Chains A and B, each alone.
Chain A
Amino acid sequence: MNIIDTEKIRLDFPTIAREIKPGIPLIYLDSTATSQKPSVVLDAMDVYYQQSNANIHRGIHTLAEESTAAYEEARHKVKRFIHAPSPKSIVFNRNTTEAINMVAHTWGRSNLKKGDVVILTEMEHHSNLVPWQILGAELDLRLEFIPVTEDGMLDLVEYHSLLELEPRLVAFSHMSNVLGTINPAKDIIESAHDAGAVTLVDGAQSVPHLPVNVSDLDADFLAFSGHKMCGPTGIGVLYGKTELLESMPPFLGGGDMIKRVELRSFVPNSIPHKFEAGTPAIAEAIGLGAAMDYLDGIGMEAIAANEHEIISYSMKRLEEIPGLRIFGPRPQYKGSVASFTLDDIHPHDVAQVLDSFGIAVRAGHHCAMPLHEKFNIPATTRASFYLYNTQAEADRLVDGLYHVKDLFG
């Protein structure tokens, strides 16, 4: 019995039905980069633009009221989806990258000083690495990294040694976008708090694929993107504990983030508006709210359980291929991502040949160059699965890879 009705779900996504060439249907295995969007999300944005479009907050007219209500309703949906205690702790921004940069810029600048220790991990993608490198160079911070083991897990023994350095911040990926590793976030956060550190969880991959409860995790910050979870591009979220957000200086200055402005000074608005300068991505926020409703309707537990089945099956099939090496842990420790090399065939060539069979995979370093250097490979091919993928598609991937081997072998 299927955990979720994948065949029915597939009908919700217009792109899933398209053909790449006549007779060659799309097999979309690149959801880790961005997910496809169901019609309900596109419709929600369409309805907003066609019926209510107006700038939010301060407007008195009907459209402005409708737009404001819809935008703030989206914030409530996010609060419910990640089990946040208050909508005040939900800041809308562009994506995970912007959310992390915002924390570095505001919390980081006002709380960190020369010599302070920031702990990251070796499996971070560039968006949870470069902002801290920039701030580190500016403030002369000491960046330390939890090592990744050969089997693609975080070395938690080493993490506990690093905590003796009394870090001010521990920022880590909840789920690796390359290895798929699901890190024990709750334990990492608890230990960090015991050591007196603030925690930032990069939820770019976990929030779309797993039930995530910020209250249970006790995370101080959680960053994620809408477009990887059936929502549109251009909308992301920073969750922050209200007392932290209240203590932080503003990020961008402009309209909406102020309470009062004089020629030479301003009084910032209350949270979360303090961090939302200028007209935000209103339609996109509404689209994200619709995406969360959609995922909730299916159930994140069921989505995660289904993905576990499909990645277990896919890894078993992939590992039957001679010369194929998958990076990362066994299926019980990971999400539905398989990054692999095939003999010494360049991932670009693998991806290009698969594309001719309609199979969309990603080739490259997946914005995690240091991790690839760690495993001493320039690039991998990555197949990733979401709620609309089937085991039959995994079989097609395997067939395609045998064709690649024939061509380049």
Chain B
Amino acid sequence: MDDLYRELIIDRYKNPIYRGELDPNDITFEDDNPLCGDHIRIDLRVDENDIVTEALFSGQGCAISLASADLLLETVQGKHLDDIKVLSKENILEMLGIDLGPVRLKCALLSLKVLKAGVYGLGEASDDLVE
């Protein structure tokens, strides 16, 4: 079967660990991938030292984008917001363990874009955040 759909990705797509919404939350952000209609929202709770205590995502998307969101949120639990700001495309690709073409890369990076726009407190998520 296709390398893109490694067991890890299929598993996290079917059985996500960090799926849900946090209400109240300290940081929330959502955005779409207009190419494919994917939509991801990420909610964070942060303690007084800017450490992420809880992180959940919601929305709809393909296996790559949803598995990527779930794996990403796993890595941010307990992280300082400053450490989240420096996460990059390479971190996501390493986490997924696959190579992606330009179209699917947008799927994989949507959750990072949403997360960083939220952490930076931006009004709009820009592709520059994940370049």
Contact = CB atoms under 8 A, between A and B. Distances in A.
Given A356-B2, A408-B10, A349 B60 contact: no
Contact of B2 (A352, A364, A365, A378): A352
A396 interface: no
Contacts of A353: 1-2, 5
A360 B1 CA distance: 16
Contacts of A403: 1
Interface in A347-405: 347-349, 352-353, 355-356, 363-365, 372, 378-379, 403
A21 to B, nearest CB: 11
Given A378-B36, A378-B37, A349 B1 contact: no
Interface residues of B, number: 19
A379 B38 CA distance: 9
Interface string B35-54: 11111000000000000000
A353 B36 CA distance: 16
A129 B2 CA distance: 38
Nearest to A356: B2
A407 interface: yes
A325 interface: no
A348 B5 CA distance: 12
Nearest to B37: A378
Contacts of A349: 5, 62-64
A76 B38 CA distance: 46
A356 B1 contact: yes
Contacts of B104: 348, 352
B107 interface: yes
Contacts of B64: 348-349, 352
B8 interface: no
Nearest to B5: A407
Given A364-B35, A372-B37, A348 B107 contact: yes
A346 interface: yes
Q: What are the 8 tightest A-B residue pairs by CB atom distance, in nearest-first order?
A: A378-B37, A346-B62, A348-B62, A356-B2, A349-B63, A379-B37, A349-B62, A364-B36
19 contacts: A346-B36, A348-B63, A349-B63, A349-B64, A352-B2, A352-B4, A352-B5, A352-B104, A353-B2, A355-B2, A356-B2, A364-B35, A364-B36, A364-B37, A379-B36, A379-B37, A407-B5, A408-B13, A408-B63
